[in-house]
Amino acid sequence: MSILYIFIFIISSQTIRVFGADNLVLPRPPELEQAINFWVRVYTEIDTAHGFLHDAEDLSIIYDELISDNQIIDDRRKEIQADLLVLANGKRSDLTNNQELILNLWPGDVLNERLIRASENIRWQLGQSDRFVLGLQRSGRYREYINNIIITKSLPIALAGMPHVESSFNPSAFSSAAASGMWQFTRVTGQRFMRIDNIVDERLDPYISAEAAMNLLEYNYNVLGTWPLAITAYNHGVSGISRAVRETGTTDIQTIISDYKGRSFGFASRNFYVQLLAVNEVEKNAESYFGDINYESAPKYVEYYADSYINAEGFANDLSVSLEQIKNDNPALLSNVWDGSKLIPRGYRVKLRAEGLPESNNLISLINSNNKYSTQIQDINYIAEEGDNLSIIAEKFRVSVETLTMLNQLNAVNEIQAGQKILLPNNNELLSKNLDENINLPTLFGNVENFQTDNRLNFGVTNKINKESQNINTSSINITKEGEFIESKINESLIIDTTTENNISSNTDNEKTALSINIVSSMPNEINQDGLSDNIKINYSGSKDIVSIDDLLEALSSDPSDYTISMNDTIKIQASETLSHFSDWLDIRALDIRILNSMTYRDEVIIGSALKLNFDKVTKNEFETKRKYYHSMMQQDFFKKYRIKGLYEYEVKTNDNITKIAINRYSAPLWLVTQYNNNIDFNRIRVGQNIIFPILELNKL
């Protein structure tokens, strides 16, 4: 049966949480007013052909407004820098006109040291007024939908303006940091709430990603407790803001903005909350700034539920709808769906413009059975060899680098490691000519007689290639079917031993073997503020994946857990960790850890408790890197299969077992529950206390 309904206000009902009225208004500390005024000027006074040269710390100090020309900007910056250094030497008389103007921007008692620092912090800010107007116009398509999500979740309505900061309401926006879509999700963070793979990238759907953004902000607030921090964490990550709170000892946003010196807490992170406050002010007074705004109308959609895998072109023809129109209205479906090398996934809800559709109460009956399939078209993987890069692989298979980067969700600059699987387009002519002639398309819908489970030979597909004519190593080609997941409650094997995390007996010390990790390179003198070496790359033993420290930190950006090592060599035990993990990462016996902590075999390892460690055989940096890698891989693997669709606030009752409730009722691993309840001591839960449980949904492929 097809599902047919108007799409405009489809909102998840999975959130059951009511915030108080005080939490629905964003705080506006007076200390932030000057920064807010700066951003109001950026959004309303200057366009993208012009900009400001200003002080990066004190945004009330604007030196000049210039045309956006690199040479002009650089020359003017050098002039300002030279004049600041003159003033920093204490000169206050016989000044040039420019030096007088600069000095008058500063308080009369400005210190010379501050002027020296200012000379090193002259920043260029491009104007945004024309872009803001375009964002206002585009926002008409989505604003009512976004507002309804926010109202349903009882969140601050001001959050609806965040796309102005992120993308100017452009659903196709891409950033240099590999963030995508109107809400600018990175891949790792986005996978918590959306399906992101080589067929579907829901970051590009402005409606799905809007709900995901509110789920993320709701999560941030649950963890951090204030909206200024939750909003800043949207840019800097919950992990980073949690670290900022620990290091500054405060949740005050102004103090964190001014005092926190985290490695990646730069200008964008410090100003993210301020920019949203400025956006809200500009939106409230848009007509006074810009005159009449021509807001775009919200389109009306009908959703078609794909009850099978469907060929996109055939689907469009059967409905007498332009393929280009369906493509534009379903941006989450990637290009391989539209060129026919992949099918519209089963279970996907295809948005169709209500106007122009055939008059039928049963759209599914209009789809020809020849366009329906029971399985997805198989993936073709190339196993990278020594010396390969994307350009070499692209040339080898006569495809574009752009195609490979899209299919594999890579940046063009990404390193390719020997042994890494690289997806190839299914319609590749070179492969098609050399595959056996008995290659079959996916079985027609309803016919599953030819189903095979072998990873290399599915539906009669072989991986034989004419080596002599094409000089391609056949051992490097794998043809596999798209992964399948059981559509049921989360298998407990995925929950990483949560049934014993709070009660690890002496028999469990050797039951679990931690991931074996090799430190490829480590320079002990180059430790950054995240406790990791900038030069370390991590190789998971048994695979060829090389993980950079930046990737590792990004993978844990939504994890508020404290993985640091205290000055007295103790750590805080986190969910899913056992003594055998620690012994593996330290290269010592679990018994040695028990002796060091005066623990008997009857003593339990408790989540949240302190554990003293011995770093005789590994450095603290190596241990912390291995530990974070373990949690990173566990979480990434989990969110490839499941996504968060909402939350439920549960009141603890007598005789409740939180672990059993998490698994049996909400199908949630305990490590994820502890992330949502980061400030709760799970060993001292009381009756009547509220616990937040994430509501999960299977990623249907």
Q: List, for residues 588-644, the tens digit of each pLDDT value.
A: 999 999 999 999 988 888 899 999 999 999 999 999 999 999 999 999 999 989 999
How confident is the model over 472-494, as a mean pLDDT? Answer: 35
Nearest to 68 by CA among 86, 94, 92, 42: 42
Residues 604, 652, single domain; the answer is: yes
Confidence of residue 549 (pLDDT cuts 50, 70, 90): low
Residue 563 tokens, joined: 């993985």
- What is the model's pLDDT at position 268? 96
pLDDT over threshold 70, residue 566: yes
- What is the model's pLDDT at position 462? 27
Q: Give the CATH number of the domain where residue 231 resides.
A: 1.10.530.10
**Helix 33-44 vs helix 267-284: crossing angle, to nearest 10:** 70
pLDDT over threshold 60, residue 536: no
- What is the model's pLDDT at position 20? 52
Residues 342, 414, single domain; the answer is: no
Residue 640 tokens, joined: 């490839």
How confident is the model over 677-699, as a mean pLDDT? Answer: 89
Asked if residue 602 belongs to a domain, the reply is yes
- What is the model's pLDDT at position 470? 36
How confident is the model over 135-164, as a mean pLDDT? Answer: 97
- Quick count: other Cβ atoms within 10 Å of Cβ 106? 18
Lowest mean pLDDT among 33-37, 320-324, 495-499, 541-545: 495-499
The rounded distance, in Å, linking the Cα atoms of 126 and 41 is 11
DSSP secondary structure string for all residues of 366-420 = GS-GGGEESSPPPEEEEE--TT--HHHHHHHTT--HHHHHHHHT--TT----TT-
The rounded distance, in Å, linking the Cα atoms of 342 and 631 is 33
- What is the model's pLDDT at position 40? 99
pLDDT over threshold 90, residue 206: yes
For tokens 């109308």, the residue is 297
Asked if residue 4 belongs to a domain, the reply is no
Q: Are 372 and 394 in contact (CB under 8 A)?
A: no
Residues 579, 694, single domain; the answer is: yes
Specify the higher pLDDT residue, 135 or 434. Answer: 135
Specify the higher pLDDT residue, 203 or 514. Answer: 203
- What is the model's pLDDT at position 547? 52
Residues 143, 242, single domain; the answer is: yes
- What is the model's pLDDT at position 612? 97
- What is the model's pLDDT at position 457? 22
High-pLDDT (> 90) share of the chain, %: 62
Asked if residue 7 belongs to a domain, the reply is no
What 8-state DSSP symbol labels residue 365? G
pLDDT over threshold 90, residue 296: yes
Asked if residue 238 belongs to a domain, the reply is yes
Number of domains within the chain: 5
Question: Which of 103, 126, 149 delimits the end of a domain?
Answer: 126
- Cα dist. 534→529, 531, 553 in Å? 10, 9, 11
The rounded distance, in Å, linking the Cα atoms of 170 and 428 is 32
The rounded distance, in Å, linking the Cα atoms of 261 and 247 is 9
- What is the model's pLDDT at position 417? 80
pLDDT over threshold 60, residue 449: no
Confidence of residue 692 (pLDDT cuts 50, 70, 90): very high
- What is the model's pLDDT at position 149? 97
Residues 189, 338, single domain; the answer is: no
Kindly compute the dihedral angle of the four CA atoms of residues 670, 674, 676, 679, in this order, to the nearest 10 degrees: 160
How confident is the model over 455-470, as a mean pLDDT? Answer: 29
Residue 169 tokens, joined: 């309401």
Residues 628, 664, single domain; the answer is: yes
Domain with 149, as residue range(s), is 21-25+129-261
The rounded distance, in Å, linking the Cα atoms of 430 and 324 is 27
Residues 569, 661, single domain; the answer is: yes
SS (H, E, C) 238-296: HHHHHHHHHHHCCCCHHHHHHHCCCCCCCHHHHHHHHHHHHHHHHHHCHHHHHCCCCCC
Lowest mean pLDDT among 31-45, 224-238, 347-361, 530-544: 530-544
| 34, containing H or E segment | helix 33-44
Confidence of residue 688 (pLDDT cuts 50, 70, 90): very high
Q: Give the CATH number of the domain where residue 383 resides.
A: 3.10.350.10
Residues 501, 640, single domain; the answer is: yes
- Cα dist. 401→137, 352, 392, 499, 668 in Å? 35, 32, 9, 46, 39
Question: Which of 68, 101, 126 delimits the end of a domain?
Answer: 126
pLDDT over threshold 50, residue 444: no
Specify the higher pLDDT residue, 4 or 369. Answer: 369
- What is the model's pLDDT at position 500? 31
Specify the higher pLDDT residue, 415 or 147. Answer: 147
The rounded distance, in Å, linking the Cα atoms of 80 and 74 is 10
How confident is the model over 577-593, as a mean pLDDT? Answer: 95
Residues 233, 333, single domain; the answer is: no
Q: Where are the alpha helices (DSSP H) in 473-548?
A: none
Asked if residue 254 belongs to a domain, the reply is yes
How confident is the model over 305-325, as a mean pLDDT? Answer: 94
The rounded distance, in Å, linking the Cα atoms of 373 and 364 is 14
- What is the model's pLDDT at position 141? 97
Residues 64, 142, single domain; the answer is: no
Which residues belong to the active site? Answer: 166
Specify the higher pLDDT residue, 685 or 215. Answer: 215
Asked if residue 672 belongs to a domain, the reply is yes
Residues 122, 147, single domain; the answer is: no
The CB-based long-range contact list for 545-554 (8 Å cut-off, 24+ gap) reads 545/417, 545/420, 546/415, 546/417, 546/520, 547/629, 547/632, 549/625, 552/625, 552/628, 552/629, 552/632, 553/239, 553/264, 554/186, 554/188, 554/189, 554/237
Q: How long a stretch of residues is the chain?
A: 701
Confidence of residue 253 (pLDDT cuts 50, 70, 90): very high
Question: Which of 325, 355, 373 delimits the end of a domain?
Answer: 373
The rounded distance, in Å, linking the Cα atoms of 26 and 226 is 9
Asked if residue 651 belongs to a domain, the reply is yes
How confident is the model over 384-411, as a mean pLDDT? Answer: 84
Task: Specify which of 153-157, 374-378, 484-488, 522-526 reaches the highest per-range mean pLDDT.
Answer: 153-157
Residues 354, 233, single domain; the answer is: no
Asked if residue 40 belongs to a domain, the reply is no
